[in-house]
Amino acid sequence: MKKINKLLYIFAIAALLFTSCNEDEFLDAEPKGALNSSQLQTPEGIATLVNSAYAGLAQNFTDPNPAFFQPASNWSFCDVRSDDAYKGGGGVGDISEYHDLELGNIRADNFTLERKWKALYVGISRVNEALGALRDVSLEDVPLRDIHIGELRLIRGHFYFDLMKNFGSYVYIDESISFDEREKVPNTFNVQELWGHIEADFLDAIEKLPEQRELAGQVNKFAAHAYLCRTYLFQAKWDEAVIQADAVINSGRYGLFSDFTKLWDVDSEHGPEFIWSIEFSTNDGSASGNINWGNLLNTPRGAAYNGDNFHMPSQNLANAYKVDANGLPLFDSFNSSDVTNSDQVDPRLDHTIGRLGIPWKEFKDEVYNETWVRDAGTYGTLGSKKCQIDPTSPYMIKGWPWGGSPLNWPIIKYSDLILMKAEALIQSNQNLEEARSIINSIRERAQNSPYVKTLDGISDAANYKIGLYPSATWTQSYGLQALKFERRLELALEGIRFYDLVRWGDASEVLNTYIQQEASKRTYLNGANFVAGKNEYLPIPQDEIDRSGGIYIQNPAY
């Protein structure tokens, strides 16, 4: 089974030592420890607090079904609200709250929003508990004191970033605010101030973290640089984003895998493309391991997994992989017809999406077929393939939990980072040729990676072709169109697309066009709508507003 490193072992111990929050508690709940204050001020005690903060990244804070309703991957809050995915599962009534998110019928009493909010503040509370303990120790007592502060501030910045991109606002609480004072903190900070808190966490992490860590899963300063790049990109601070991206690129520590298929391989998950990932495991001493519960609902049915079949790719996404005679995307006409197995397509299509008649990873018993689909009448037959563990892997749990996987979830990959740099260069209209080279490097990797083969391994499973963008037609306008399309193709189903559309200002036009076109194939989308100025962000959970006694205010559009 998957090798367990020391960090993951400490995750398991931290989970036993700390209870986080139950359904009746909220963000001012104080973590409860089995260690007393004197024990916590030792290197071992501090390490337990720090690793409890790391464990919070998985957003598991209740049992049973720890992260079903608040996945750290954000597939339900991002992909399902975009043009990339349908909710899937056993019909529109199967977790109807996700169905409402997909249709844009978003209410403040949707319980999945409450769980997401709570999970993130449980994580923030763990971070602040650890930072508070570190205030009372010296470098002499805890030699890793400053490094711990750096990793904790990076983790906290990640949690606040997740709140910001989902809710458009948050309640800022740091380690200096006592538990009694937390319930009095409003959510009325301006956007610039809220981004400033996130930037400050990442900048301090850059200052305090080393370039290299002892254990896989521990963050270094380059993870902070990469996240700060993303933070600047969301604020359209193009020059600053390029500087942070270059800090990672010029380190020489990261790069693209030569093989696209290695991106979702347990044996490759600490390779050079992964800048920071959430660590998952099996064989760690617990009943089903520290598996990725947040994505567990998404495994297909069929002989390989027998899963619940949520997070199904949209027909629109599959169509986006069609290419012209030069192997380039069909920007304007890709959705004029539905892709077939005889169409010429980008080879990433069949690494990303399960299609009828096409083999599924290394599974040799049968090709992907209708038995793998739970409700084809509602959601069609496409399967989410990229983010699933290979069913032949010795690391996958057989039986319940169906398709249980130790596959890590990437928070930031190198491919995402260099595309962020390319975007910043294009948006600021500087060095367009370098941006083209970056995008082509992504496409060249796909071009040179193994293509999906027929079940007998003799020939390609489909008509694959991918070309590189020529310099002759490369302008700022064309480059931006290419960049946006490349981010969709390369990062599909990774909890990124919706947030990209929002920050580009494209969400209303793209998603309402998508709904209008897709509803002819998926009739349950009739009546769906994206409301500009409202649906970009989720409402503050009503339970949190009620508990605050009037301290919190609702997002204006709700």
| Total residues belonging to the chain | 558
For residues 8 and 281, the answer to whether their CB atoms sit within 8 Å is yes
Helices 145-167, 111-134: crossing angle, 10 deg rounding: 160
Q: One fold for both 8-61+108-250+529-558 and 65-69+254-527?
A: yes
pLDDT (average), residues 520-537 = 97
pLDDT (average), residues 12-25 = 39
Comparing 64 with 248, which gets the higher pLDDT?
Answer: 248
Q: Of 28-42, 77-91, 186-200, which range is least confident?
A: 28-42
- 498-508 burial code (b ≥16 CB/10 A, e <16): bbbbbeeeebb
Residue 29 pLDDT more than 60? no
How far is Cα of residue 269 from the mean position of the Cα atoms in its chain? 15
What are the φ and ψ backbone dihedral angles of 275, each rounded to 5 degrees?
-85, -40
For residues 348 and 327, the answer to whether their CB atoms sit within 8 Å is no
**Tally of CA atoms within 13 A in the half-sphere of 81 that contains its CB:** 28
Percent of the chain residues past pLDDT 70, beyond the cut: 91
Query: What pLDDT was estimated at residue 64?
Result: 64
Residue 5 pLDDT more than 80? no
Query: What pLDDT was estimated at residue 36?
Result: 58
Query: What pLDDT was estimated at residue 35?
Result: 53
Residue 453 and residue 534: Cα distance in Å, rounded? 45
* CATH T-level assignment (fold) for domain 65-69+254-527: 1.25.40
DSSP bridge pairs for 85: 313
Query: What pLDDT was estimated at residue 400?
Result: 85
Residue 544 and residue 555: Cα distance in Å, rounded? 13
State the pLDDT confidence band at 371, using cuts at 50, 70 and 90.
very high
Query: What pLDDT was estimated at residue 61?
Result: 83
DSSP3 helix / strand / coil % (the chain, rounded to 5): 45, 5, 50
Other beta carbons less than 10 A from residue 518's beta carbon: 20
**Which of 254, 208, 203 is CA-nearest to residue 225?**
203
Over the stretch 105-117, which tens digit does the pLDDT of each residue have?
999 999 999 999 9
Query: What pLDDT was estimated at residue 274?
Result: 98
Check the CA dihedral 171-172-175-176 and report its sign: negative
> Please, what is the average pLDDT of the chain?
91
Query: What pLDDT was estimated at residue 85?
Result: 98
Residue 353 and residue 403: Cα distance in Å, rounded? 17
Residue 295 and residue 60: Cα distance in Å, rounded? 12
Q: Taking the complete model, does pTM exceed 0.85, yes or no?
A: yes
Residue 160 pLDDT more than 50? yes
Residue 289 pLDDT more than 80? no
- Find all residues with CB under 8 Å of 37, minimum gap 6, and list them: none
* CATH T-level assignment (fold) for domain 8-61+108-250+529-558: 1.25.40
Query: What pLDDT was estimated at residue 20?
Result: 37
Q: Of 93-102, 130-139, 217-226, 489-498, which range is least confident?
A: 130-139
Residue 321 and residue 127: Cα distance in Å, rounded? 41
Residue 391 and residue 397: Cα distance in Å, rounded? 9
DSSP, residue by residue, 35-90: S-HHHHTSHHHHHHHHHHHHHGGG---SSSSTTTTS-TT-TTTTGGGTTSEEEESS
pLDDT (average), residues 505-532 = 97
Q: Kindly report the CA angle at 338 between 337 and 341, in degrees rounded to 5?
A: 125
Over the stretch 382-408, which tens digit does the pLDDT of each residue have?
999 998 999 999 999 888 888 888 999
β-strand pairing of 463-464 with 310-313: unpaired
β-strand pairing of 463-464 with 344-345: parallel
Query: What pLDDT was estimated at residue 25?
Result: 36
Over the stretch 446-470, which tens digit does the pLDDT of each residue have?
999 999 999 999 999 999 999 999 9
Domain boundaries, the chain: 8-61+108-250+529-558, 65-69+254-527
Query: What pLDDT was estimated at residue 229?
Result: 98
Residue 551 pLDDT more than 70? yes
Percent of the chain residues past pLDDT 90, beyond the cut: 83
pLDDT (average), residues 266-272 = 95
Residue 512 token pair: 């309402």
DSSP bridge pairs for 412: 276
Instruction: State yes or no: cis peptide before 541, omega within 30 of 0.
Output: no
- Find all residues with CB under 8 Å of 108, minimum gap 6, and list them: 539, 540, 541, 542, 545, 554, 558
pLDDT (average), residues 98-109 = 97
State the pLDDT confidence band at 178, using cuts at 50, 70 and 90.
confident
Residue 180 token pair: 């009694």
Query: What pLDDT was estimated at residue 33?
Result: 46
Query: What pLDDT was estimated at residue 355?
Result: 98
pLDDT (average), residues 293-298 = 94
pLDDT (average), residues 409-424 = 98
Check the CA dihedral 236-242-247-248 and report its sign: positive
Comparing 49 with 32, which gets the higher pLDDT?
Answer: 49
